[in-house]
């Protein structure tokens, strides 16, 4: 199965990607993982990306595209993969088509995790991150025993700027603006399936696997 996972911030893509990839025995490939591997490995692409990352700028599409192309050429991705974080726009989707076409392959399916914006704000704005160990707690779903203190290491918890409600709503606006055309692009090609991402992690995973199983060749 060659799968792309899309969904707004807070939809649970990272968590679901792990379970889905494990179930179908395919590698989970995220742009974050690719960036880190290239930077830590000191590759030419990693050095190029690091310049932008150190400056706080977005890594240009051409660098990201080249990293994805190299990653999909590795042996473990020959028989399938799950892509999380790529493509982010229609231009990158066209690049992915070209990468797969060059190896005589095509995309199997795109899974869209659908969750309403109010729920995303509720999920993300309740997160608190440990300054010491980085563990993320949630005031509603997974609260620490003592307010603002990490159960794991005793570190101080803080509210990341990215998790403030107004920032989350802005991130959702940006996501909708950039990704709506991508979702439409795959829907028009009958490659898109949508599942409700509300409920427990286990419920959403079961929903995803049931929906994707027909596409596993």
Residue at token pair 């950039």? 178
Q: Are 28 and 82 in contact (CB under 8 A)?
A: yes
The DSSP H or E segment spanning 178 is helix 165-188
Q: What three-state secondary structure class fits 206?
A: helix
Instruction: Give CA angle at 196 (192, 199), nearest 5°.
Output: 150
Q: How far is 142 from 126, CA to CA, in rounded Å?
A: 10
Token readout for 155 is 């570190």
What is the four-CA torsion angle of 21, 25, 29, 30, rounded to 10 degrees?
10
The catalytic site residues sit at 13, 88, 127, 160, 171
> DSSP secondary-structure letter at 126?
T
């Amino acid at each position: 199965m060659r799968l792309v996972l899309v969904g707004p911030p807070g939809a649970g893509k990272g968590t679901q990607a792990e379970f889905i990839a494990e179930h179908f025995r395919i590698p989970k490939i995220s742009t974050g993982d690719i960036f880190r591997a290239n930077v830590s490995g000191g590759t030419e692409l990693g050095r190029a990306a690091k310049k932008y990352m150190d400056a706080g700028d977005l890594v240009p599409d051409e660098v990201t595209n080249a990293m994805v192309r190299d990653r999909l050429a590795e042996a473990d991705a020959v028989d399938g993969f799950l892509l999380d974080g790529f493509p982010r726009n229609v231009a990158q989707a066209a690049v992915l088509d070209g990468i797969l076409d060059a190896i005589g392959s095509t995309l199997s399916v795109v899974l869209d995790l659908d969750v309403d914006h109010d729920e995303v704000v509720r999920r993300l704005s309740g997160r608190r991150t440990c300054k010491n160990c980085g563990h993320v707690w949630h005031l509603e779903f997974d609260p620490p025993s003592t307010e603002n203190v990490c159960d794991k290491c005793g570190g101080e918890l803080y509210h990341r700027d990215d998790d403030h409600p107004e920032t989350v709503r802005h991130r959702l606006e940006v996501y909708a603006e950039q990704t709506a055309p991508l979702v439409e692009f795959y829907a028009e090609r009958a490659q898109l399936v949508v599942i409700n991402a509300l409920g427990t992690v286990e419920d959403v995973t079961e929903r995803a696997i049931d929906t994707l199983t027909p596409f596993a060749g």
